[in-house]
A and B are shown apart, each in its own frame.
Chain A
């Protein structure tokens, strides 16, 4: 059953759907590399999937632009429960040079519950893989993935 909480569902496989919510494309470039021949994240059971309906984890980059906020919310709602949200890159954590402008938001945590963050501008592919694998080992009882750092 899928309603046991992330600890039980994310042991061997992690299916990731990504939303670009206003990145500079640096985070996307590095994310796209993780399933390529050099980093080959599939060997760990990690994969990028085409639909949020197939995903356990939603990764989000960018400050969340005004125009992308609704699409992001709807994509998040489409991911089955239980689900995790991971913000990718400094912009997504609210450290964006465009933060707070008339068109850019305050980061992912301002609009969605964020379970973990992958820092960097952009984070290198190996770091992305490492952080996502840490999620797969699953948080301990009473902890969220984010609290484990």
Chain B
């Protein structure tokens, strides 16, 4: 590791270790054996600076505060390596993505189909390579670049759904193989909303990334802003004022809360329990209004910027905010009673869309979807950041891994968030909410990694700067990590329960597709 390598916000350095392509699987296996947790992977094109391609895998070890980067360099003329998926199944989509965007081949990948690029994109053109312009619009390929994987057998029916859905739902395509009403197999074709976010960011000064980063996904906007800021702040040793740290944490916790309210409302909607769905959507709307009034935007766009937060919270508003949150908390408690004591409703949730603990661990599940399958992990506690260092939240888990477990988990986590928000608002320290950049920040260099626990789980931003400009930006969101779980959780369930199961995972498409 060179001396110029950066520091994380927690004051611990990134450790970069180089390996040969042939040693990669062994090094990863050894890391996993001592409890390392996989966070993200990022490919980069270094041909213009005399190299080939670079492939980083980022891990967190349980006994170290910093993050470890395992780096492999691949030759420009033959960028290939033995697929890591057999030893680390969580990377299966990362590998397919790097194959699409960089032309890096994971040899022996069990499902090397196209993942990210549009169906009509010509083969052999990899838009994140540096010699491909950001605005390239190649002519359509003759053959579609993607075909569904279906279950075979007599009487099996194929049912394609989407990308346009019946409700107001993001665009995505589902390919069901059905036997009668039972789902045998599900394949998904996401990335309908792929917008080239990462390419758009390249070449920009780090300070100009905010408008694009926060619009990666509205539902996780504060989490995206915070991850971008953390990456930049660690690169330039930017210390935040205490009030900025608290306010940023408050924004992140508000985001979790309104998302949990949204998801709590969506589950009864999936069973036809209208009263509960309506009450849940009222609570979500109240939370959005509260955010609009307190922070200037219902979805928290434009609130978090490097150095702190954009807008301070006036003292008078704090008391009012605490009162409004307290009222919401009481109402949510009543809704929880009404929903969880309704036998017909609870019956629908029980045993639906079960994700086993084993599968959750194998596929690298994150967030509520992992915790509802008895996997106790939460970056707020596992790698404390911001005010979570002083206010460690309780990590809630459920055992059953079904729709009911994911619903109960969100009720319990919302309770924890209410408690946390009240303590943060009560203890908000005085002083400025943002600090100026340290000298030389505009020429910052190196790799910064920002990560936090978004409402859906780990959200990791990998930011490589050169002379103050973004060289490579990769965003690995919780939804990207968790979409493959859905494919494991639905077989054996009735097709009519699919919307309910899907809602219980409540994954973002925009976050995943970028």
Residues in A lying within 8 Å of B, measured CB to CB: 18-26, 28-33, 36-38, 48, 50-52, 62-63, 65-68, 71-72, 75, 91, 96-98, 100-104, 121-122, 124
- Contact at A25–B217, with CB atoms within 8 Å? yes
Return the contact of A97 from the options B164, B215, B218, B509 (Cβ within 8 A): B215
17 further A-B pairs in the complex, CB-CB below 8 A; given A30-B298, A102-B133, A122-B298: A20-B169, A22-B194, A23-B193, A23-B510, A24-B216, A24-B217, A25-B508, A26-B299, A31-B168, A36-B285, A37-B278, A38-B281, A66-B121, A101-B200, A103-B117, A104-B195, A122-B299
Chain B, 120-155, contact with A by CB distance < 8 Å: what is the 0/1 string? Answer: 110000010000111111000000000000000000
Write 27 A-B pairs (CB below 8 A) sorted by A numbering: A19-B164, A20-B170, A22-B171, A22-B194, A24-B510, A25-B510, A28-B168, A29-B219, A29-B262, A32-B168, A48-B167, A50-B166, A65-B118, A65-B192, A67-B163, A67-B191, A67-B192, A68-B163, A98-B196, A98-B197, A102-B132, A102-B135, A102-B196, A103-B194, A103-B196, A122-B218, A124-B298
- Give complex CA distance A128, B509 in Å: 23
CA distance A30 to B193 in the complex (A): 18
* Residue of A32, A62, A102 contacting most chain B CB atoms (<10 Å): A102
Given known pairs A25-B218, A71-B163, the reply for A36 and B278 (CB within 8 Å) is yes
Complex CA gap A32/B278 in Å reads: 12
Question: Does B159 reach chain A (CB closer than 8 Å)?
Answer: no
Per-residue contact bits, chain B 198-223, to A (CB 8 Å; 1 contact, 0 not): 01100000000001100111110100
Q: What is the number of residues of chain B that contact chain A, defined by CB distance less than 8 Å?
A: 48
B107 at the binding interface (Cβ < 8 Å): no
| Interface status of B346 (Cβ within 8 A of chain A) | no
Q: A101 near B282 (CB under 8 angstroms)?
A: no
B119 contacts partner chain A, Cβ-Cβ < 8 Å: yes
* Cβ-defined contact, A37 with B199, below 8 A: no
- Residues of chain B within 8 A (CB-CB) of A29 are 218-219, 262, 299
> Which of B194, B216, B278 has its CB near the most chain A CB atoms (within 10 A)?
B194
Check B119–A36 contact: CB distance below 8 A.
no
User: Quick check: B193 and A98 within 8 Å, CB to CB?
Assistant: no
Q: Is the CB of B192 within 8 A of A68?
A: yes
B118 touches A66 (CB 8 A): yes
Say yes or no: A102 contacts B218, CB within 8 Å.
no
Residue of B nearest to A32 (CB): B168
Q: B301 at interface (Cβ–Cβ under 8 A)? A: yes
Whole-angstrom distance between the alpha carbons of A122 and B117 in the complex?
A: 27
Decide: A98 and B218 in contact? CB cutoff 8 A: no
Q: How far is the CA of A65 from the CA of B137 in the complex (A)?
A: 12
A102→B134 contact, CB < 8 A: yes
* A-side contacts of B282, CB under 8 Å: 36-38
Name which of A25, A37, A75 has the most chain B CB atoms within 10 A of its CB.
A25
Which residues of the other chain, B, contact A63 by a CB distance below 8 angstroms?
Answer: 195
B170-A28 in contact (CB<8A): yes
Which residue of chain A has the shortest Cβ distance to B136 in the bound complex? A102
Residue of B nearest to A66 (CB): B118
CB distance from A138 to the nearest CB of B (A): 25
Q: A24-B510, A25-B509, A103-B194 are in contact. Are A37 and B281 (CB under 8 A)?
A: yes
Partner of B170, one of A23, A38, A48, A50: A23
Within the complex, the shortest CB–CB distance from A43 to chain B, in Å, comes to 14
Of the candidates A51, A71, A97, A104, the one whose C-beta lies within 8 Å of that of B171 is A71
Does A67 contact B194, Cβ atoms closer than 8 Å? yes
Kindly list the 7 A-B residue pairs having the minimum CB-CB distance in the complex, ordered from nearest. Answer: A26-B218, A101-B196, A50-B166, A67-B118, A98-B195, A103-B196, A97-B212
Name which residue of chain B comes closest to A22, CB basis.
B193
Are A98 and B212 neighbours in the complex by a CB distance under 8 Å? yes
Contacts of A20 in B (CB 8 A): 164, 168-171, 193
CA–CA, A51 and B174, complex, Å: 17
Residues of chain A with a CB closer than 8 A to B120's CB: 66
Determine the chain B residues whose CB is within 8 A of the CB of A51 once the complex forms. Answer: 166
Which residue among B134, B135, B163, B171 has the maximum number of chain A CB atoms within 10 Å of its CB?
A: B171
Residues on A with C-beta less than 8 A from B117 are 103
Q: Tell me the complex Cα distance, A29–B217, Å.
A: 11
Q: Contact at B171–A103, with CB atoms within 8 Å? A: no
Given A19-B164, A97-B212, also A65-B195 (CB < 8 A): yes
Residue of A nearest to B132 (CB): A102
Collect the chain A residues with CB atoms within 8 Å of residue B299's CB: 26, 29, 122
Closest residue of B by beta carbon distance from A29: B218
Q: List A contacts of B121 (CB < 8 A).
A: 66
A136, B123: Cα distance in complex, Å: 47
Q: Within the complex, which residue of A38, A48, A52, A121 is in contact with B285, where a contact is CB–CB below 8 Å?
A: A38
Are A25 and B219 in touch, CB under 8 angstroms? yes
Q: How many Å lie between the Cα of A25 and that of B169 in the bound state?
A: 9
**Which residues of chain B are within 8 angstroms of A104 by Cβ–Cβ distance?**
195-196
Report which of B119, B164, B199 forms a contact with A67, defined as CB distance below 8 A: B119
Contact call B168/A100, Cβ cutoff below 8 A: no
In the complex, which residues of chain A have a beta carbon less than 8 angstroms from the beta carbon of B217?
Answer: 24-25
